[in-house]
Structure 1
Amino acid sequence: MADSFIPLTIDEYARQAALTDQRKGKHALSFSMLGAFGETGSLLSEVKKKQRDKASYLGYAEAVSEELGDVLWYLASIARRSGIPLSTIAANALDATRVGNAADDSLTFHAMQPAHIPMTTEPSAQFEHRLLALAGQIGLLVNDYQSGALKGQAKMLACLTLVMRQLIQAANDSGATLEAAAIKNQHKIFDRWPRDRTFPEPFDAPMDTEEQLPRRMTIDVFERSVRKQVYVFQKSSGVFVGDRLTDNALEPDDYRFHDVFHYAHVAVLGWSPVVRALLRLKRKSVPKLDDAEDGARAILIEEGVTSWIFGQAQQLNFFEGVKRGGLPLDMLKHIRQFVTGYESERCPLWLWEDAILQGYAAFRFLQKHRRGRVLIDSPNRRLRIKELPL
């Protein structure tokens, strides 16, 4: 017998959302208000894109649900920082005659909307007007907070109730359910900021060791001049790995050291079609994996992701000083889109961040010292680098 579906309560969602709130300090409340306003703007942007690119914009419904979830997350953050249960706001929004600020622990998202909401694939004029009203209401919230007009919990509750009412109506008009938006939001935020960091099993764990990426490996990386041209060479156990490398660019940018990013993919993600090709570790015993996951197209995907991230990193000082949890969420989501259809799309966003930050720490070391000994430590999901003896 299948397990019965348990509706998500408003306060349970709020508790889960609180676990991923990274902001602290006296400005956290105003940040949450601006976040709610910004996400409402993103909702309006989705409407605009669908109106402009009717046939070619296929992600409209999914994007609306995601943005509704983001607005909800910020609303939960504002409520928590104001000392008001999110269920109180929702209950007051549903019942205009309700008085007081008592929580309603049993109130679910399912109870907030009609049982049957007509599905829509295009934005209606009514939805657009509702979003403008929602944006206006949040704008009033921000303005009143900044002016000091929201002193006192009762005033904050009244204002947040109006925002929630508009949000519920916007969801109705969009054909989306806030329950689905909340659940998707939970998945997204824990994909990025997990409750616990449990490493997934390596993709090639079922394979024979001859077809597994190295669990531990040492690679010496160094520069050498050949006919007045500087190249990067790599050696492991005295054997050269891959070809000698240059930046392949008109302006020098040290991309010649970029294989260290692939080694980070091996160490942290347990994935790298590029390294499989370099070390001749393709999974030939499973033809489908050999062709799809380890073939030329997969190699191009990894090289493309690596090059794209490098372009982002150049603008951010190669991520120097960026701590875990500090990479832009949009950047990580774009990476997930890059690798869609390949096994690495199953890697959580937080693990991608670990791979990127560790890879760029090693890259910055090589930029400074021009040589180094790279150590892949897959069991501990670590990429390390140290000085290479002369």
Structure 2
Amino acid sequence: MTVSDNSMNILLSDYEIAVAPTDRFKKSDITPILFGLFGEVGSVMSASKKRQREESAFAGYMRDVEEEFGDTLWYVSALCRRFEIDLSKLFLEAINGSGYTLSVIANDDPGSPVAKAVTKADLAPLDILLLRLGKQSANLLSLGDNPTNAKSHLLDFVKLYIDAVQASKVSFAAIVRGNIVKVRGRFLKPSIESLPDFDLNFSEEEQLPRKFRIEITQRANSRSYLRWKGVFIGDPLSDNIGDPDGYRFHDVFHFANAAVLHWSPTFRALIKHKRKSDKDVDEAQDSGRAIVIEEGLTAYIFSYAKTLNLFEGQTSVSFDLLKAVENFVRGYEVEDCPLHLWESAILQGYDVFRKVHEHNGGVIIGDREKRTLSFEPVEAKEV
């Protein structure tokens, strides 16, 4: 563990500043934070258990451990804010205790030429450290009723946390940076100017349309039809399930992805706006596999949404669902979109979908500049 700031490292004081706006709990809320911390330690244990059980088959171990350690740090930081404890000073006090070796290293940041590397030679095995960390997180639960000696309890926890991070062989800097990206992307509304636009540098005929109106109609055969600029696109769709659920209108979700995320390989294929001028982009982002990913993700979210009345009345989306979405699109350009934007795409898409389902059709209006999707009813007619 390095206490410094260079091109790879990050100051814990900067971390505190970055994540503080993502804390939506009341300042008086201590018990929910303690429960969250206890749960995240359990998640680290779960990842370790999976690695032992599945060995090399558990390819996501390092990524999962980084994420869970990051979430644990978030809850430690949240507790420090409530008890008015400086997180950086808490870590500094922990590593200045016995058992740690401090090495002076040359830093590649001209503004901070010297740093300290902190190591512990006689570490217990990771599983033992995680058990100790779990026990200490259980001890912290008592702070909900009796917050006395909060600093002492947190200091003991942080010492074990540092040891567990070292034993896990993951980068603490990666843990911290990753958690900043994750929580800010999930809980803070991004400015439109900061969001990616994946086809901005391509010609208009290779871009998703900046604004679009697409009419969805249903014929007597219960199949849905799409029409854009007066021309039918795609194939007629049915629900393809024994218990009709409206999935014949699922293209609405592709339109939501296009309008809000600026991403939809399925919509690109429908209107023949693939980015063929760049062979690599066309192959990796706009072709068959990317289309399958979007279709699979759409079906997965729909199955989940059916258990929640298609998100009716919902103002947010489960973090677990958003994390599943994140895993689905890993390796594709849309992974650069923050989770908050995914939440917006999902909620807007389902708001329009429910209206289309109710009216058995309608006009879908997408505005990529505003990143919005809306609905207009039309008279039912045969086309």
TM-score by length of 2: 0.86
Which residue pairs with 2:110 in the alignment?
none
In 2 relative to 1, CA 274–55 (structure 1 residues): closer, same or farther, beyond 3 Å?
Answer: same
Q: Mean Cα displacement is larger for which, 48-57 or 181-190?
A: 181-190
C-alpha distance in structure 2 between counterparts of 1:96 and 1:125, whole Å? 17
Which residue pairs with 2:339 in the alignment?
349
Gaps of 5+ in 1: 98-109, 119-123
Which residue pairs with 1:220 in the alignment?
215
Decide whether the 8 Å contact of 1:117 with 1:175 is kept in 2.
no
Counterpart of 2:375, as a letter, is I
Aligned to 2:26, what secondary structure does the other structure show? Answer: coil
Which residue pairs with 2:12 in the alignment?
10
C-alpha distance in structure 2 between counterparts of 1:304 and 1:7, whole Å? 37
C-alpha distance in structure 2 between counterparts of 1:65 and 1:387, whole Å? 47
- 2:281 is aligned with 1:289: yes
From 167, 192, 200, give the equivalent of 2:161.
167
User: What RMSD, in angstroms, separates the aligned Cα atoms of the two structures?
Assistant: 2.5
C-alpha distance in structure 2 between counterparts of 1:86 and 1:25, whole Å? 16
Taking the TM superposition and a 5 Å limit, the aligned residue runs for 1:234-253 are 234-253=226-245
C-alpha distance in structure 1 between counterparts of 2:202 and 2:270, whole Å? 18
Counterpart of 1:258, as a letter, is H
1:217 deviation in Å?
1.2
Aligned to 1:351, what secondary structure does the other structure show? Answer: helix
C-alpha distance in structure 2 between counterparts of 1:219 and 1:19, whole Å? 39
Counterpart of 2:360, as a letter, is R
Counterpart of 2:376, as a letter, is K
Structure 1 runs of 4+ with >4 Å offset: none
1:195 deviation in Å?
6.5
Which residue pairs with 1:145 in the alignment?
143
Structure with greater strand percent: 2
C-alpha distance in structure 1 between counterparts of 2:280 and 2:168, whole Å? 41
From 186, 208, 217, give the equivalent of 2:203.
208
Aligned to 2:201, what secondary structure does the other structure show? Answer: coil
Taking the TM superposition and a 5 Å limit, the aligned residue runs for 1:227-306 are 229-306=221-298
1:297 deviation in Å?
2.2
In 2 relative to 1, CA 9–272 (structure 1 residues): closer, same or farther, beyond 3 Å?
Answer: closer
Counterpart of 2:157, as a letter, is V
In 2 relative to 1, CA 73–111 (structure 1 residues): closer, same or farther, beyond 3 Å?
Answer: farther
TM-score by length of 1: 0.85
- 2:140 is aligned with 1:136: no
C-alpha distance in structure 1 between counterparts of 2:137 and 2:178, whole Å? 23
1:336-380 residue CA offsets vs partner (Å, 9 max, x unmatched):
222233222222222222211111110111222222211011111
C-alpha distance in structure 1 between counterparts of 2:289 and 2:11, whole Å? 44
1:50 deviation in Å?
0.7
C-alpha distance in structure 2 between counterparts of 1:29 and 1:243, whole Å? 54
